[in-house]
Chain A
Amino acid sequence: MGYEVLVRPERCISCYACEVACAREHGGLSNVWVLPQGVPILCRHCQNAACLEVCYTGALEQRDGEVIFHREKCTGCELCLLACPFGAIGLDGKRAYKCDLCSHRRQEGLMPACALTCPAGAISYSCVADFSHRKRGIAGLSWAMGYERRGK
């Protein structure tokens, strides 16, 4: 519980490894989009997600901090695409598709592919507490080095 795909955008080298890996894991369509500026965009699995609110067929469902998509219930009305604040839902013909956090891999106890494959370590699969703790460690290093220079 509490594990998220979290991104450190300053690390992204726009190598598209996550896109290629995601497409391979999901039958040719990638659920993550890398912007040329170096930001991977993928479903944030929001609390009270907008996509879920607008879906009238119940194809989207929230469970355990995850927004789950039921493809067979989707009618392709595209309302979720319009509602999503991140543009993280795609359309394949007449059905939507979105990140499922690699549910088939997690069942085998494996990490989502994008987080594991990222060569630059920009994408991680961790909880917010660990992620922020690591960031504080990095920020703390420069802070501490500044203090070292001051000699106290």
Chain B
Amino acid sequence: MKEIFVRLDRCVGCHSCELACAVEHSRSKNIFEAISETPRPRRRLYVEYVMARKMPFLCRHCEDAPCVRACRTGALTQDPLTRIVTHNPDKCIGCWMCTMVCPYGVIGREWERRIALKCDRCPGREIPACVEACPTKALVFMEQEEFARLTRLEAAEEVAKSYRIAG
């Protein structure tokens, strides 16, 4: 299964992902119309600044997710195959149990209604909107094996470079 991975060294903190996320989750899916919609379209991922680094935070869709465990009404469910954690707003009662257990702080609140809001990994799209919007490819959508291979290639390049310098 493909996951969203973050290459922290590439994030410049441009917030494009946040904007794309909000637009994708609007009714019109168009930035100009989205800004005047009610409920106001909201982002489900967050770019934070920690230790002089820019870090995009988004739901990790954890295995046996704590938020799903904590949910008392069945609003949060996890697909056993894709491991995507989906939130059903009709069942949500805004008790914030999921918010309180989430270790990454990525379950937010809808603006108008007192219910939770989280990443659904863009069900209608082949590539999630945030990934597509990222100009520096800090966000990538791929299989874990592929991501690890990418990192290995980068490391190999470094090693090769040093060999070249050493002659």
Is A128 within 8 A of B96, CB to CB?
yes
Q: Which of A97-150 contact B (CB under 8 A)?
A: 127-129, 131-141, 143-145, 147-148
Q: Could you tell me how many residues of chain B have their Cβ less than 8 Å away from some Cβ of chain A?
A: 31
B147: interface (CB < 8 Å) = no
Complex CA–CA separation, A57 to B47 (angstroms): 47
A interface: dominant SS = helix
Is B95 within 8 A of A132, CB to CB?
no
Is A141 within 8 A of B50, CB to CB?
yes
Is B97 within 8 A of A44, CB to CB?
yes
B113: interface (CB < 8 Å) = yes
Is B46 within 8 A of A136, CB to CB?
yes
A2: which B residues are within 8 A, CB to CB?
109
Complex CA–CA separation, A6 to B51 (angstroms): 26
Is B105 within 8 A of A144, CB to CB?
no
Is B114 within 8 A of A132, CB to CB?
no
Is A132 within 8 A of B99, CB to CB?
yes
Is B9 within 8 A of A136, CB to CB?
no
Is A139 within 8 A of B104, CB to CB?
yes
Q: Could you tell me which B residues sit within 8 Å of A by CB distance?
A: 8-9, 46, 48, 50-51, 53, 55, 57, 72-73, 92-97, 99-109, 113-115
Known: A46-B93, A47-B114, A128-B99. 14 other contacts (CB 8 A): A4-B96, A6-B100, A9-B100, A45-B94, A46-B95, A48-B93, A128-B96, A131-B99, A133-B48, A136-B55, A136-B105, A140-B57, A143-B50, A144-B51
